[in-house]
Structure 1
């Protein structure tokens, strides 16, 4: 599926196999290791990093994702569920009750703790 999207070298010395390098990219992303700690079975780490960077700039990963999603959508394998994460829902700045003079409703965000009333202590 990815083979048609991967840029082919036209000239130069023989390349490390594309599948081997892509497996190295996946391994790096999945494990979170640094590029220098990439196992040798995936080829030289600089090669894997260089191709990863070139593919990212060329938009290979974006095209692959779109292609995979369109195939899954055509097969009916994608469920459309809408979720809203509260970290992305913003309120208007007038909705904030900051307790500052002239802003909000005049309420403060301070916690009121019970204290001893007059004549009780």
Structure 2
């Protein structure tokens, strides 16, 4: 990282403004039940990016960084996955780039890991041995 650059786990304001409306709204906490205050989503997102960037295990995320615990970050990531946040963000950013004329589709590649195949191919027949002098099974 060069001097003056932000670490890659710090979410820029422009990206956060696009992402925040896509996040599920938290369930209000019962005021009669004590507990910790909820860590803001943006801080948790920075924790998620820190783990993904550094490769550190979730349980070893340093609490001193202010991202919350690794389990908090993991749970929020799981909730956002279930809510389809990443797919929505991807589509939003693609639409913005397309609208600005900054996508070059002539270099796009699609493979089966991203696009479901229309139908299966023919079922493969089981190969039989053609080896000469193959002994028959004595167990049957």
TM-score normalised over the length of structure 1: 0.63
Paired residue for 1:79, among 78, 91, 104? Answer: 104
- Matching of residues 65-76 of structure 1 within 5 Å: 65-76=90-101
Paired residue for 2:82, among 57, 61, 66? Answer: 57
SS at structure 1 position matched to 2:98: helix
CA RMSD, Structure 1 to Structure 2 (Å): 2.3
- Matching of residues 27-38 of structure 1 within 5 Å: 27-38=50-61
Runs of 4+ residues over 3 Å off in structure 1: 82-85
Structure with bigger RCO (C-alpha 8 Å, 6+ apart): 2
C-alpha distance in structure 2 between counterparts of 1:18 and 1:37, whole Å: 20
Shift of 1:84: 7.7
Shift of 1:83: 4.6
Gaps of 5+ in 1: 86-91, 93-99, 102-121
Shift of 1:82: 3.6
Paired residue for 1:5, among 22, 28, 32? Answer: 22
TM-score normalised over the length of structure 2: 0.56
Shift of 1:73: 1.1
Gaps of 5+ in 2: 1-17, 30-34, 112-120, 122-128, 131-140
